[in-house]
Structure 1
Amino acid sequence: MLCSVALLMTACAATSNVVTDEEIVTNQKPMATYTSLLLRDFELKRELYDDGDERMGEREQRYERIPAQLTEQIQRYVKARRVYESVSRTTELTPKTLILQGKFIRMGRFRITIEALLLDGASGQEVAYFRQTLWDVLDTSEAVGRLGREVANFLDRIQYK
């Protein structure tokens, strides 16, 4: 009986949706001084999801829409928290603007990894870095929502750094 419980706990731990991240804030001024956020779609290279077929199938078309969907999710979650006065894809660059851009590092059925950069709107200098990995991804649509929420959480956490 005890062995069965131990085996079950080990199996559950191995299949849980683990989120690991890395956060670095290098900005000299407080992050709370930024009042607007400009969102750019994350880069997703075709070789991360392409199955090698010449013509683009339905699966590849769904993957091509993922960067825009992630941006929409991030925008929704960040706006709901009311941290920034303006959150959009078309904000004018000012000294109080942060630019969020990033890229997908890995895109697969069981793992998605993204890197996100925050840039100062006036200088273009990197002020923060974020790396997020979702494990045991079975549904890419659900994973995009979770990634959006995690990026919004990161933006919220660094406000006081």
Structure 2
Amino acid sequence: MKKFIKLSLISLGILSAIIFIPFLILMFSYDQHDDYYYKTPDEFLNSKSFSWYIDIFPKSSRNIFLRTFIETNGMIVIFETNTADEIPFSQLYPITSKGIDYLKDFNIPTSQIQPFLDNGKLYCYFYSNNSPYLVSKYYSNNPDLVHYMFTSLRSEEVLELCPLNTVKTH
């Protein structure tokens, strides 16, 4: 009888491991994000992802890439616009090189982020409702275009990345 109980417990343990291990692998390997592509701000405004919208797109914006993260409510927006429609420098607060390490950890395709890692300048940006964003900006080979990447920041990230004088005033 003891052998039967012992054998039953071992069998139950092995069966549980067979079921549980693939479940864990699936759970941790599945990315909880959605990607959206838009040609213009108007196309974006008329989409179902409009709830993620912040009013940052100049009229000449195009090639908008939006990645939303389901588990964290975070977002990344990449777009290009004419240099004549740049976001005023007075609204962007330069940050330290710590931001590069932060960018390297982003879960977005290398083709999307590499130009920002190679050529981008980093800033903090506070939207009108004080929502903080990490902004990377670079100028392309075309002198009429500027590229932006906006990433929503959590409170602890703001304190780590943004200049203290900007955090206190916003």
Q: Same fold (TM over 0.5)?
A: no
Larger Rg belongs to: 2
TM-score by length of 2: 0.29
